Amino acid sequence: MEVIIDANILFSSLIKNSLTANLLFKEDLTLYVPDFFIEEFMKYENLILKKTNRSREDYIRILHCLKKIIHKISGEKFSNFLNKAEKICPDEKDIPYFALALKLEIPIWSNDKKLKEQNIIKIYSTKEMLEILK
């Protein structure tokens, strides 16, 4: 299954070992993100480290593992979908994720309930992903 993975899912996987973290590494799951996702992690590194008992070294090791399994897509490749994404996305900060989903024609994995306030892009929560990938 192919999905765009929202930063909130990735953040939660770094904060604690959980089902979410385990799902990320399922072989039958292909994950995509806009290419700015590394910058997002670096921006929130201190906050994530405060919420977890991981060391900075552990955080960086996990981040490197995630970089190996997640496909980063350049903004240039989905920029022509930004206008449409802006019209349908209920949360301004998630417009690039919607544009990428429109480009690739695949759903988004996010626990942000607000994103389900539209009917163009399918949004799956972690609970829904667990059911699908059983």
The secondary structure of 21-83 as a DSSP string is HHHHT-TT-EEEEETTHHHHHHHTHHHHHHHS---HHHHHHHHHHHHHHEEEE-HHHHGGGHH
Q: What is the pLDDT of residue 32?
A: 96
Q: Between residues 45 and 111, which one has the greater pLDDT?
A: 111
| pLDDT (tens digit per residue) in 14-69 | 776 667 777 888 888 999 999 987 777 778 788 888 887 778 888 788 888 888 88
Alpha-carbon distance of 80 to 94, in angstroms, equals: 16
Q: Residue 107: pLDDT band by 50, 70, 90 thresholds?
A: very high
Percentage of the chain exceeding pLDDT 90: 55
Q: In angstroms, what CA-CA distances link 131 with 2, 19, 37, 111, 124?
A: 15, 12, 26, 14, 10
Q: Residue 133: pLDDT band by 50, 70, 90 thresholds?
A: confident
| CATH architecture for residues 2-132 | 3-Layer(aba) Sandwich (3.40)
Q: What is the pLDDT of residue 53?
A: 74
Q: Residue 100: pLDDT band by 50, 70, 90 thresholds?
A: very high
Alpha-carbon distance of 25 to 90, in angstroms, equals: 29
Task: Give which of 7, 73, 13 is closest to 42, Cα–Cα.
Answer: 7
Q: What is the pLDDT of residue 77?
A: 96
What are the φ and ψ backbone dihedral angles of 82, each rounded to 5 degrees?
Answer: -65, -40
Cross-strand partners of 73: 34
Alpha-carbon distance of 95 to 72, in angstroms, equals: 16
Terminal alpha carbon distance of the chain: 12
